[in-house]
Amino acid sequence: MKINILSTISYDVSHKESLGFLIRINNFKLLLDCGPYIPQILNENFSFRNNIDAVFISHDHVDHAIGLPWLLNSIVYDEYYKIIDKRTTPIKLIIPNNNESAILKYLKQTSPWMFIKCDYFHAIIEDPSNKPVILDEDLIIESFKLKHSIENWGITIKHGNKKICYISDTLITKQLGLDQKIKDCDLVIFNIGGSSKEKKMCNDYAFATSKEAALLCKSSNVKKVLFTHVFHQYDLKNVVSEATEILGNERVLPISSQEIII
């Protein structure tokens, strides 16, 4: 597995209000969240923007979801709005809780012209909230609920004996059972708010702190962790210091990571 860090909110000043991660498994490309700048970043740095196979959207906040309509648009049109060749296989939109999804309602409200008919954009919706979904050969995903200010989901990705987990914005509670979701993960991408010094602010906005997240990852035997989404006003050194004190330097990935190979 290869994981490209497209944008991590506060870690990337030029795209500070956008979040997205590209997972590449052989020739299959899965995008985790699609903030407003993600289609642009894909266009500038990758030659296969129009060949993304699947997109997972965790929740309907702007920094995680608003880029999806533009990404879908790029599948149909080039930069001059000329219709390009239709995809041979549909793009899969991984949207948990499909029937009651706040994400779909939000996207239909903000960009109704994009969702009049998914067939036009050659897209299908997959819902992994009740059972695992097989995306490709030996590539299985499962979603699980998180605890945020709105409906929010995390995702587990399994391929062969490799396992990664994306935990979007959330508080950590025993009821969520996150320790089992991330158990023995090769990599966890964990959205947090700040260090324990900012615990009150994190709790107010329904985010975990770096200490809480690191302790969870340690107890679950996670091999590598990438902490993202830290509020821009907080000192990133405190986040890294707090996490490495618990997990050790070898398990906390650098903030500047561009590509991770698992």
Q: Amino acid identity, residue 91?
A: I
pLDDT tier at 250 (50, 70, 90 boundaries)? confident
- Spatial neighbors of 71 by CB under 8 A, at least 6 apart, are 31, 34, 38, 39, 42, 49, 52, 55
pLDDT digits (tens, 9 = 90+) for 15-50: 557 889 999 998 899 999 998 888 888 888 776 556
pLDDT digits (tens, 9 = 90+) for 207-244: 999 999 999 999 999 999 999 888 766 777 888 899 99
The reported pTM is: 0.90
List, edge to edge, every strand of the sheet that includes 153-159.
133-136, 139-145, 153-159, 162-167, 187-191, 225-228
What is the fold of 2-261? Metallo-beta-lactamase; Chain A (3.60.15)
Say which range, 143-152, 201-210, 242-251, 252-261, has the weakest mean pLDDT.
252-261
CA-based nearest residue to 159, from 179, 178, 185: 185
Position with higher pLDDT, 28 vs 126: 28
pLDDT digits (tens, 9 = 90+) for 65-85: 888 888 877 766 665 556 565
CA distance 11 to 13: 6
